[in-house]
Amino acid sequence: MPFDRTNPNLALWLREMPTDPSFEGRPVVRPFTRGGGFRGSAINGTYLVMRLTQAFGPVGWGWGYEVLSDDVVPGAPVYEDGKLLGHESVQRTRIRFWYYPNGRPADLDNFTGQAKRAEFEQVGQTTYVLWRRPNPEKRQPGRFETDEEAWKKSLTDAISKAASHIGFAADVHLGLWDDNKYVNDRAAESEQQQRALDQAAAAEGAAEARRRAQEIADELARAETLAEVTRLRGEAIALRPMLKRHGLADVEATLGAAVRDAQQRVGALERQRESAVA
């Protein structure tokens, strides 16, 4: 059956499948090698939590998980000179992952629309006790080692697997990151998208700075006491860094002129009041 990208059932999957090559200049996908020579790519767990939060809201609100069980089970046996020394072991964590496909309403208790919570189970696992082979070159004997972060890694593994089941970073799990062309294309696309977002944020910030400057100027024009002018002058000074950051020298100059005009006008009013009282 052909892959139908217009199928509404795939909307979330297709939206969240592409993975950014990096976040703030740090890679979020790393290669790994497991026993037996298996190679692949793994996604940064914290980056994935951020992606889930961006899509659904804070953990525990728009999405989350419940730990159903965790245990430690025997792994591979370890022999030396035909004698069983012990077993490696694996730590497993089973979770119930849940999320609101259409977003959670702010007032869920009184919400009457469609806000059904989707949920399913997933398992993560990590080697807890590992056998390190002897290293004659370093004069190190064979030894068992334990991983004190096994429970945390298993939980991260379970969350990552669950997230991939609804499309998040699915390109990593599909093996697309093993293709250099795909990785390079994603890097270029991600950079272009980030540049567009930065430009939009800058434009929004500039518009907000202009709006606030106009508000202060309008209040200065209505001010009738030196106390009001002093307060508004402080707000104008505090706004200067934002105006400079967005290159709004003209707005900064206009606001400075509004402060001076208000000081002169209100100063004259104060002197008139003082003369009338005298």
- Residues 130, 76, single domain; the answer is yes
pLDDT in tens, 129-147: 988 887 777 777 888 889 9
Residue 191 within any structural domain of the chain: no
User: In which band, very low, low, confident or very high, does the pLDDT at 209 lie, cut at 50, 70 and 90?
Assistant: confident
- Statement to judge: residues 33 and 143 lie in one domain: yes
Q: For residue 1, is pLDDT > 60?
A: no
> For position 278, what pLDDT does the model report?
60
Please tell me whether residues 84 and 120 are part of one structural domain. yes
Query: And the tokens for 251?
Result: 């707005």
Strands annotated E in 107-252:
118-132, 143-146
Bigger pLDDT: 219 or 102? 219
| More confidently predicted of 7 and 190 | 7
How far is 107 from 99, CA to CA, in rounded Å? Answer: 16
Start-to-end CA distance of the chain, whole Å, equals: 95
Per the structure, how many domains does the chain have?
2
Closest CA to 243 of 194, 204, 210, 203: 210
Please enumerate in sequence order all residues whose Cβ is within 8 A of that of 265, keeping only pairs 6 or more positions apart, or say none. Answer: none
Phi, psi of 179, rounded to the nearest 5 degrees: -105, 115
Name which of 30-34, 216-220, 273-277 the model is least confident about: 30-34
- Yes or no: say if 46 and 28 are a contact pair by the CB < 8 Å rule: no
Token pair, residue 55, equals 């899509």
Q: How confident is the model at residue 186 (pLDDT cuts 50, 70, 90)?
A: low
Same domain, 22 and 110: yes
CATH at 19? 3.30.390
pLDDT top residue among 196 and 219: 219
74: amino acid identity, one letter: P
Q: What percent of the chain has pLDDT over 70?
A: 85
Q: What is the distance between the alpha carbons of residues 32 and 35, in angstroms, rounded to a whole number?
A: 10
Contact 130, 144 (CB under 8 A): yes
Q: Does the residue 183 lie in any domain?
A: no
